[in-house]
Amino acid sequence: MELIALYTVAATLGAMVFFAVGIAPTVFQALPADEAGRFLRRLFPRYYLALIIGSGLAGLLWMTSQPIASGVCLLIAFSTLWVRQRLVPRINSLRDAELAGDASAGLGFARLHRLSVAINMIQLLALVVLLARY
């Protein structure tokens, strides 16, 4: 079980890195900004779902043998669930308002977008630490 958990963490981390350095920049290079935004809006829920499943599965697999690693993984899963279900819809709403001409919505969008990026980076670093440790 521990080895499967480790592989699951590695796969989840790999997906995160691939998305950050492969997919997102390529989308913005290949598509006009408005199309890139629409594409990523459709892709992000799937990205977050993969993160929830990967980290949640690793957390469950490590539950009896590595309680700290399990807790970290489950925290990642639950925080990602919150980001996916609560934060991203708010970010999207603010972005839509900004594009419709509401300048104050742009400030809120920028703040919440930075928060989502920070959460994602902390999650990524936590998975790196788990891989390095176990």
pLDDT at 55: 98
Question: Taking every pair of C-alpha atoms in the chain, what is the biggest distance, in angstroms?
Answer: 53
Q: What is the pLDDT of residue 86?
A: 98
Q: Tens digit of pLDDT for each residue in 81-110? A: 999 999 999 999 999 999 999 999 999 999
> What predicted TM-score, i.e. pTM, was given to this entire model?
0.93
In this structure, what token pair is assigned to residue 15? 């997906």
Environment class of residue 24 by beta-carbon count within 10 Å: exposed (0-12), middle (13-18) or buried (19+)? Answer: middle
Question: What torsion do the CA atoms of 7, 9, 15, 20 make, to the nearest 10 degrees?
Answer: -140
Domain regions of the chain by residue span: 2-133
d(C-alpha 113, C-alpha 108), whole Å: 8
Residue 18's pLDDT band, with cuts at 50, 70 and 90, is: very high
Q: How far is CA 34 from CA 46, 48, 108, in A?
A: 20, 21, 19
